[in-house]
Copies of this chain bind each other. A is one copy, B any other.
Amino acid sequence: MADTMQTSSDTLATLMQDMGRRARTASKALARTTPEARTAGLNAMAEAMASARQKLLTANTKDMQYGEEKGLSGAMLDRLMLDDTRVKAIADAVRDVAALPDPIGREITRWSVPSGLDIARVRTPLGVIGIIYEARPNVTADAAALCLRSGNAVILRAGSESLNSAKVIAEALRAGLASAGLPEDAIQLVQTKDRAAVGHMLTGLNATIDVIVPRGGISLLKRVQDEARIPVIGHLEGMCHIYVDAKADPQKAVDITVNSKMRRTGICGAAETLLIDSAIAGTLLPAIAAALTDAGCSLRGDNRARSLVPNMDGATDNDWHTEYLDAIISVRVVDGIDAALGHIETYGTGHTEAIITEDTAIAARFFSDVDAGIVIHNASTQYADGGEFGMGAEIGIATGRIHARGPVGAQQLTIFKYVVRGTGQTRP
């Protein structure tokens, strides 16, 4: 038995290494294609996606059955489910990426120096990107499309729940690439549910993966922290806060809090905790709580919050750490901006944080002192989205502090090189 397992793990290692080598080769070929060729590839991918509709729906039915047997929540099952409309939306999203400006080869800036050298900073692909994600089948297509738009090859690792759907999507995208004369190995999907595959990706498959983009929750975060030996652009959970300051406009506070929590509860930019200044909580918290309750949200508060809204459940320390992704919000009464900043520093994940206030000095303090990819004044946290930022599609919201932060679109999946033009200069 031990021997069999050893053989099987050797086989996986070999498979993954091979995948890495093929990605590297494809990435080099891709880096030499024109923006027009990549656009044609993306449009062909969208067409192939649309043609695979029936096959994809059949595969998705299998995923749904597996999910039900596994006892996934209704919210999770809803994220997993595909129908005609959603399949069309996936193909349309790929077409939208085809319409985005291609970032590769563009001069970001160009200048001359006293030696007479002409120096340009030019955008280049990162190389081979490994993306590890969960649940939603559309991520397979979105991520692959953005990687192609930015000239990168990609190795995709879908969640086990959506693997059947992801396989059909990846197969269609590869067929699209091939029909457009591009290397189909620029898009590869890990075909096994074996979690050991993630380990191979996190160590970079002997330097054939350049960057890992993890998109997921706390268990993925821990694994990445323990195992990753290559650069990571982290897309981890969004533990987003709304801080309602003493000088908040009451109507804005109600509207923005309800929208931040309830517009869509399952996205990473949904608010999870409401912090409210004790100076205004007495008058404003009951109104906000009532509006949230009316919208179908349940509340879990600290003792001070519960003394103001008695029917609220109690919050434990665990609640301040919990990304519910559901119609639940935790509520804490705090003594002013310093306490709010302290709470966010302790429990925030660097995703999106919002303040509601009419006091511009307090807003400026929040902007300056909150360490997160996105800080918002007087608007919903649900605007944390590449599309809403005008960046086109996004792979997610980066929560780390290196390379990219906030919405990650095609441009954020690039790096640059310096192109130096001389006329024979030697350095004195």
Residues on B with C-beta less than 8 A from A371 are 31, 124, 127, 417
Asked if A211 lies at the interface with its beta carbon under 8 angstroms from chain B, I say yes
* Closest chain B residue to A385, Cβ basis: B427
Question: Could you tell me the distance in whole angstroms from the C-beta of A36 to the nearest C-beta in chain B?
Answer: 15
Asked if A293 lies at the interface with its beta carbon under 8 angstroms from chain B, I say no
Residues on B with C-beta less than 8 A from A388 are 113, 115, 117, 427
**Quick check: A379 and B117 within 8 Å, CB to CB?**
yes
**Quick check: A422 and B211 within 8 Å, CB to CB?**
no
Known: A228-B229, A401-B126, A402-B126. A420 touches B390 (CB 8 A): no
Residues on B with C-beta less than 8 A from A252 are 424
Asked if A419 lies at the interface with its beta carbon under 8 angstroms from chain B, I say yes
Interface residues of A in 192-247 (CB under 8 A from B): 207, 210-211, 225-229, 231-233
Which one, A133-141, A174-182, A255-263, A274-282, is touching chain B?
A: A255-263
**Quick check: A374 and B256 within 8 Å, CB to CB?**
no
**Quick check: B415 and A380 within 8 Å, CB to CB?**
no
Report how far A423 CA is from B356 CA in the complex, Å. Answer: 10
**Quick check: B231 and A225 within 8 Å, CB to CB?**
no
Which interface residue of A252, A258, A373, A417 has the most chain B CB atoms within 10 A?
Answer: A417
**Quick check: B377 and A420 within 8 Å, CB to CB?**
yes
Report how far A403 CA is from B126 CA in the complex, Å. Answer: 10
Question: Could you tell me the distance in whole angstroms from the C-beta of A123 to the nearest C-beta in chain B?
Answer: 11
**Quick check: A378 and B423 within 8 Å, CB to CB?**
yes
User: Which of B225, B233, B426 is the one whose CB lies under 8 Å from A263?
Assistant: B426
**Quick check: A427 and B111 within 8 Å, CB to CB?**
no
Which interface residue of A227, A232, A376 has the most chain B CB atoms within 10 A?
Answer: A376
**Quick check: B367 and A419 within 8 Å, CB to CB?**
yes
Residues on B with C-beta less than 8 A from A124 are 371
Question: Could you tell me the distance in whole angstroms from the C-beta of A322 to the nearest C-beta in chain B?
Answer: 20
**Quick check: A425 and B380 within 8 Å, CB to CB?**
yes
Asked if A372 lies at the interface with its beta carbon under 8 angstroms from chain B, I say yes
Question: Could you tell me the distance in whole angstroms from the C-beta of A316 to the nearest C-beta in chain B?
Answer: 24
Interface residues of A in 381-428 (CB under 8 A from B): 382-383, 388-390, 400-403, 405-407, 415-427
Residues on B with C-beta less than 8 A from A256 are 424-426
Question: Could you tell me the distance in whole angstroms from the C-beta of A243 to the nearest C-beta in chain B?
Answer: 14
Known: A259-B427, A405-B415, A425-B383. A420 touches B375 (CB 8 A): yes
Interface residues of A in 139-177 (CB under 8 A from B): none
List 11 other contacts, CB 8 Å, given A210-B401, A263-B427.
A32-B368, A105-B368, A211-B401, A225-B229, A259-B427, A374-B418, A375-B418, A377-B420, A378-B425, A380-B426, A389-B418
List the 7 closest pairs (A to B, CB-CB), nearest first: A379-B422, A259-B426, A379-B425, A231-B402, A382-B427, A403-B403, A378-B422
Question: Taking beta carbons and an 8 Å cutoff, which residues of A are in contact with B?
Answer: 31-32, 105, 111, 113, 115, 117, 119, 122, 124, 126-127, 207, 210-211, 225-229, 231-233, 249, 251-252, 255-256, 258-259, 263, 367-369, 371-380, 382-383, 388-390, 400-403, 405-407, 415-427
Show 25 A/B contacts (Cβ-Cβ < 8 Å), sorted by A.
A31-B371, A111-B390, A117-B388, A122-B367, A126-B402, A211-B402, A225-B229, A227-B229, A229-B229, A251-B424, A256-B426, A258-B426, A374-B417, A375-B419, A377-B421, A378-B423, A379-B420, A379-B425, A380-B425, A388-B427, A389-B418, A402-B415, A403-B415, A405-B417, A406-B417
